[in-house]
Structure formats: structure tokens, C-alpha cells
Amino acid sequence: MRTFLKVSVFALIVIALFAGFANFGVPRIEPALPPVEEVVDVGAMTMEDFTALGKRIFDGKGTCTLCHTAMGGRAPVLDDLSTVTSERLKDPRYQGEASDVESYLYESLVAPSAYVVAGFGKAGSSDSISPMPDVRGGGIGFSEAETLAVIAYLQDASGLDVTVTIPTEAEGGIEEESEEEAREPFEDPEEIVEEFVCGACHKIGEEEGEMGPDLTQIGSIRNKEYLRRSILDPDADIAEGFEPEMMPTDYGEQMYAGELEMLVDYLAASKQGDQP
């Protein structure tokens, strides 16, 4: 019985030590809550509202701009849709059934491999398989109305007439994810750098982006005011050798004030000899 008790007490002490370390030995981080879905009534929308909604989905929930951007080179830029659509529909490699811009865009969203633009296919597929997912599933999860809203936006952005019909409410509403409301502030600068994908264009931390200036020692040559201005108004000062209008201009809206300051401090502290 004595052995039983001694061993039990020993085990309890070990468990308590591990639990204590997990509770008090590492920073207390409150994970962000899951995104909240709000139902938007599309039935009451004008075409202008519907197109604007398409833009919000394109930039937000759809995460389309992660790839469809001139900077990344991971997917074709979606401008001049009128010309490219007619060319692609005539291309012998085209395997779909679309007949016009609207049906081509729809097909591209739900069956992206029907036509893969040369150079943008999955590695080893000889441009026969698109790396893009079906937007109705996966982490994107568009409803029918959301898919149509994006098509409306893309048509509008290319200067074409918007041909889609706004679905009635009965055909399905739109659930907009309002992550901003639920988002907890990021607690360390590296998380900010990671979440805002700074490394896609800049050399920072372990990332090796080349589209923007090297930020690994930026604190040696720029002060905090300059750095803050560069985040809030990226085209105010353009570093030598880089193009203007490359960096998104809405980071001031996306970042909390505390996050912005943390990032500025972090960049200002990145000096020669450090390894951010």
C-alpha cells in the first residue's frame, strides 16, 4: 500500500508540474473565435450592390487576390476578359462547354481545369490540371449567389456589361464571413508579418520575397515615422529600384493600431546584425 501511495503521489506531482508549466510557463494566448457567418439579403440588392459584394468576396472570403495578382505570378491576372475569353474558347486545349464570358467565368470558378492558362498548371501536369480549387468547396465554400456576385464583379472590372441575374432570395442568400468582428489582435510581430503575408514581397524573417525592399535590416536606414508612413501610404515614398502601386494600400484598415505600432517597432528594431 505504501508503494502504491508513493507512486501515486509521484505521478500526481509530475502531472501537476506539466500542467503548471502549460498554464504559467508559456504566454497565455486567446485563440481567435471561428468566423461568424451573416446572411445577406441579395434579393433586395441593386446590380451595383451586387457587384460591390462580388468585389468584397473576391478580396476577402474568396482569397482570390492571393494568386490573381500581378505581384505573385501564381495565377493569371483577370483583366481584359473579353479578349482572353474568346481566344481561350477557340483554343484546342479548351475542354469545357462555355459559350460566352459569363459561362466561361462560371466554369473557371467551379471546374478550373477545363482550361488551364499556359504556365499556370499544377507542377508535372503539363498545364492540364489547375491548382485552383472548385470555389464551392474547400475553405472557400461559395454559395451559388456568391459565385454569381464574383462573376458580376469580374465583368464589371473588365469594363464589360454585367450579364448575370441577381438570384432571388429563394435561390439562396449569401453568408458573409465577418472575421474582423471576431478577430483577436495578433500578439507578436512575426504573427502580423505572417498573417499579412509580408514575406511574399519582402525579405523578412525566414521569407525571401524580392518584389519589395529587404526588411531584414530596415531599422538601420529608416526611422519609425518613415516605416509607419510606408505601411499606411505605401506610395508616399518609393525605394530606389522598386515600382510604385505594388503594395496594398488598405493595411491601415486591416491592422489594429496596436498591431501597426508593434510592427513599426519590430521593423525599426531590425538593424544590422539582427536576424528578424
Partner 1 sequence: MKDRSAIGFVGLVMVALLVMFSDGINLPFAAALADQEVAAETVLETTYPPAPQLTESDYPRIGGLNGRVVVWLVAQLHLWFAALVLAVPIFVLIIEAIGMKTRDKRYDDMAYEFIRVSITAYSLTAILGGLLIFSLAIFYPDLLQYLVSIFNETMLYYALLFFAESATLYLYYYGWQWLQGGNKKWVHLTLGLLLNAVGTTLMFLANAWLTFMMSPAGVDVAGAFSGDVELAIHNYLWNPINLHRFVANIAFGGSIVGAYAAYKFLSASNAQEKAHYDWMGYTANLIAILALLPLPFAGYYLTAEIYAYSQQMGITLMGGVFAWLFIIQAVLIGTLFLSANYYLWCGMGRSEGAIRYNGYVKYLAIVLIGAFLVWFTPHTLVLTNQELNALGGPYHKYLGPLGIMPAKNTAVNIMIIFTFLSFLYYRRANKIATVSWTSVGNAAQVALFSAGIFNIFFLGIYHGYFTSTVYKIASSIPQVMTTLIIIVTSIVIDAFMYRGAREVAPLRWGRIPARAQYALFLLAVSFTWLMGLMGYIRSGIRQHWHVVNIMRDASPDAYTPTMGYAANIVSIGVVLFISMVMFVFWLSQIAARKTAPVGYWKSGPS
- Binding residues for partner 1, rule: CB under 8 A, are 3-4, 6-8, 10-12, 14-16, 18-19, 21-23, 25-35, 133-134, 136-139, 141, 187-191, 194, 206-208, 261-262, 265-266, 269-271, 274-276
Rank residues 71 and 89 by Cβ distance to partner 1 and give the closer one: 71
Closest approach, Cβ 109 to partner 1, in A, equals 11
In the block, cell 498573417 appears at 195
In the block, cell 462555355 appears at 98
CB 128 within 8 A of CB 113: yes
Closest approach, Cβ 204 to partner 1, in A, equals 11
Closest approach, Cβ 205 to partner 1, in A, equals 9
Rank residues 155 and 216 by Cβ distance to partner 1 and give the closer one: 216
CB 212 within 8 A of CB 248: no
Measured from the Cβ of residue 81, the count of other Cβ atoms closer than 10 Å reads: 21
Q: Determine the Cα–Cα distance for residues 147 and 136; give it in Å rounded to an integer.
A: 8
Rank residues 37 and 235 by Cβ distance to partner 1 and give the closer one: 37
Rank residues 22 and 44 by Cβ distance to partner 1 and give the closer one: 22
Rank residues 105 and 204 by Cβ distance to partner 1 and give the closer one: 204
Burial (Cβ within 10 Å: 0-12, 13-18, ≥19) of residue 216: buried
108 DSSP 8-state letter? H
CB 100 within 8 A of CB 86: no
Radius of gyration of the chain, Cα coordinates, nearest whole angstrom = 24
Measured from the Cβ of residue 221, the count of other Cβ atoms closer than 10 Å reads: 11
- Name 42's Cβ contacts closer than 8 Å, sequence gap at least 6: 50, 53, 145, 149, 166, 167, 169, 173, 174
Pairing of strands 37-40, 207-208: unpaired
Closest approach, Cβ 47 to partner 1, in A, equals 28
Rank residues 49 and 207 by Cβ distance to partner 1 and give the closer one: 207
Q: What are phi and psi of 5, to 5 degrees?
A: -65, -45
Rank residues 81 and 189 by Cβ distance to partner 1 and give the closer one: 189
Closest approach, Cβ 167 to partner 1, in A, equals 18
Rank residues 135 and 162 by Cβ distance to partner 1 and give the closer one: 135
- E-state strands within the chain: 37-40, 174-177, 203-204, 207-208
Closest approach, Cβ 266 to partner 1, in A, equals 6
255 DSSP 8-state letter? S
